[in-house]
Amino acid sequence: MTSFFDAIMVLLILTNLALLGTSRLRTCIHICALQGLLLGTLPLTTTIELISFRAFLLAGGGMVMKAIVFPRLLERTLQDTHVQREVEPFIGYSISLLAGIGLLGFSLWLGSRLPLPSMITSPLVIPVSFFMMMVGLLLIVSRKKALTQVLGYLVMENGIYAFGVAISPEAPFLVEMGMLLDAFVAVFIMGILMFHINREFDHIDTDRLSVLKD
Amino acid sequence: MNAAYLHLPVALIFAPALLSVINRIKALFAGRTGPPLLQPYYDLAKLLKKGAVYSRTTTWVFRMNPIIGLSAVLVALAFIPFAGSVAVLATKGDIFILAYVLGLARFFLIIAALDAGSSFEGMGASREAQFSALTEPAFLVGLAAVSRATGGLSLSEMYGALSFQTWMSIGPIVLLVAAAFLIVLLTENARIPVDDPNTHLELTMIHEVMVLDYSGPDLAMIFYASALKLWIFGSLLVGLVLPIHGANLWLDALAAYGGMVIMAVCVGVIESCMARLRLLRIPQLLVAASSLSILAFLLLLR
């Protein structure tokens, strides 16, 4: 079963690298949805002996939110704002990919240095969750569009979720649900905010917002 | 007797047939009948009968290129293990010999293209140099990952140690390397997402533009060398994806040759379903291939 778990981990890494390398906004949203789907399966694979009601609820809630609700919200924002379909990065795609590989190496090193509780399901899960948080940060700082910044925020949240699942027996259920709700509200508000920014300024390029003066 | 002595002549004879399998698959997708399966052999025979024409601007470099290219690929082929057998020229560290022998062939291809004095060929040479510099990390790091996973130092040891047990234990990692090798195969053999082997007069072509000035037996040698190159990269990919080393030598060989045909069919399907990438996007694809290899290697280092 660890092999299956590792396969999901490798797929998660690949979705992160794909996010760094794709140029289309819509494809980015779809990759994010796929990532949510993969993350949703994690609670089911960690507790294989006793698939509890709690694990099901966690998996189901996560999947519905991250693979269906968030992408739908973001796609609607994309349609409403009529933005260009390109991501427009500050850092080129190839360089971002290489930076992603560098971050992965760093997080593997970091993961090997940390003293961990023995309950960890796979040694890969901690580095991968660190990696996801860092990729999320990289997406936030290196992309121009407000929409990709929301995606970066989501990827970061996914990383925290993966971290939480790794130490699942210790983390209370309410915290996880609360986190999911927070992310939902954030995406919802950011969608509305982007719509208003777009209506006011005809674009959602964040670097051009910084030249505004009151 | 080592089975590799049987696999080598088979490779020499049947390598052009892989090209015709690819062409037949493409014809099938386009709804055409396609050329006969022996068409590459007819082409080779026709070219060998003709005389060669040399431009007055060319020097000995231009005339040496087909010979060096073909002999380098032949040497490289002798290092390739097939169907789990030990290769004819297996030594420790032959990964690097393989990479640099192929690099030598590419170097002569590039300077011969520059030697022809055509600005068109110069563009092709520049692109070939750029893209091959980006493919090599993907190829070498991928091989290093396989070496790390199996503990072998020569290609024959590495591929001999691969089995379905490897797939069970580190399947995702082997899959990553296989994906990187597929991209390397498509790039090195000038196949579609990177380069179109059918176009001879397009501004964005890479490999075909560099051999525009060759004719007759020289072109036949280049054509044959590229068929052998497809066989080399194909057998590295097939050895990774289908590591069948049972007790029966004949069954192993059958599986490996079947794998080669399947590989050719896959290349044909990819060529039929995909458009060529924009020239600016190709480095991105190659960096992605490199990052797959590096990812596999990093995961194994853990």
Question: How distant is the Cα of A80 from the closest Cα of chain B, in angstroms?
Answer: 29
Question: 3-state class of A86 per DSSP?
Answer: strand
Provide CB contacts within 8 A for A46, sequence distance 6+.
A5, A55, A121, A165, A166, A168
DSSP letter string over B132-201? HHHHHHHHHHHHHHHHHHH--SSHHHHHHH--HHHHHHHHHHHHHHHHHHHHHHHHHTT-TTT--TT-SS
Residues of chain B neighbouring A6 (CB-CB closer than 8 A):
172
Alpha-carbon distance A199 to nearest alpha carbon in chain B (angstroms):
33
For residue B169, give how far its alpha carbon lies from the nearest alpha carbon of chain A (Å): 7
Q: Do B284 and A3 touch (CB under 8 A)?
A: no
Q: Which chain B residues touch A98 with a CB distance below 8 Å?
A: 287, 291
Let me know if A30 is exposed, middle or buried by CB neighbors in 10 A (0-12, 13-18, 19+): middle
Query: Do residue B298 and residue A104 have CB atoms under 8 angstroms apart?
Result: yes
Report the mean per-residue pLDDT for chain A.
Answer: 79
Instruction: Tell me the chain A residues in contact with residue B176 when contact means C-beta distances shorter than 8 Å.
Output: 10
* Other beta carbons less than 10 A from residue B25's beta carbon: 20
If we measure between CA atoms, which residue out of B189, B209, B31 comes closest to residue B114? B209
Least confident among A16-20, A101-105, B86-90, B196-200: B196-200
- Per-residue pLDDT of chain B (302 residues), as tens digits, is 577 788 899 999 999 999 999 999 999 999 999 899 999 999 999 999 999 999 899 999 999 999 999 999 999 999 998 887 888 888 888 999 999 999 999 999 999 999 998 888 888 899 999 999 999 999 999 999 999 998 888 888 888 888 888 887 788 889 999 999 999 999 999 888 888 877 766 666 788 888 888 999 999 999 999 999 999 999 999 999 988 877 678 888 888 999 999 999 999 999 999 888 888 888 889 999 999 999 999 888 87
Using an 8 Å CB-CB cutoff, list chain B residues near A21: 284, 288
Residues of A in contact with B284 (CB under 8 A): 21, 93-94, 97
Distance CA A3, CA A5 (A): 5
CB-closest option in B284, B291, B302 to A108: B302
Q: Nearest residue on chain B to A123, judged by CA atoms? A: B302
On the question of pLDDT at A84 being above 70, the answer is no
Average pLDDT estimate for A152-175? 75
Residue-wise pLDDT for B53-73, tens only, equals 998 999 999 999 999 999 999
- This model of the complex carries an ipTM of 0.77
Chain B residues with CB under 8 Å of A130 CB are none
Helix (H, G, I), strand (E, B) or coil at A85: coil
| Torsion angle, alpha carbons of A178, A184, A189, A190, to 10 | 120
Cβ-count burial of A189 within 10 angstroms (0-12 exposed, 13-18 middle, 19+ buried)?
A: exposed
Helix, strand or coil for residue A75? helix
CB pairs under 8 A between A and B: 47
How far away is chain A from the Cα of B215, in angstroms, using its nearest Cα? 39
Which residue type occupies B298?
L
Q: What is the pLDDT of residue B85?
A: 82
Domain boundaries along the sequence of chain B: 4-301
Rounded Cα distance between A27 and A197, Å, is 23
pLDDT at A1: 44
Check residue B168 and give its pLDDT.
79
Query: By a Cβ cutoff of 8 Å, what residues of chain B touch chain A?
Result: 168-169, 171-173, 176, 283-284, 287-288, 291, 294-295, 298-299, 301-302
Which residue on chain B is closest to A100 by alpha carbon?
Answer: B291
Q: pTM score, two decimals?
A: 0.88
Residue B79 confidence (pLDDT): 92
pLDDT above 70 covers what percent of chain A? 79
Q: Is the pLDDT of residue A123 over 60?
A: yes
CB contact under 8 A, B171 and A100: no
**Residues in chain A closer than 8 A to B302 (CB atoms):** 108, 112, 123-124
- pLDDT tens-digit profile of B124-153? 899 999 999 999 999 999 999 999 998 888
Give me the residue from B169, B288, B302 closest to A21, CB to CB.
B288
pLDDT for position A61 = 79
The closest of A78, A113, A97, A82 to A190, measured between CA atoms, is A78
Among A1, A3, A130, most B C-beta atoms within 10 A, so best to mutate, is A3
Where do the structural domains in chain A lie, given as residue ranges? Answer: 2-62+71-207
User: Which residues touch A8 (CB under 8 Å, ≥6 apart)?
Assistant: A38, A41, A42, A45
The answer to whether the Cβ–Cβ distance between B283 and A94 falls below 8 Å is yes
Q: Identify from A3, A5, A10 which residue to disrupt to test chain B contact, counting B C-beta atoms within 10 A and taking the largest count.
A: A10
pLDDT, tens only, A38-68: 888 877 766 555 566 777 777 787 788 888 8
Measured in whole angstroms, the distance separating CA A163 from the mean position of its chain's CA atoms is 12
Alpha-carbon distance of A192 to A186, in angstroms, equals 10
State the DSSP code for B50. S
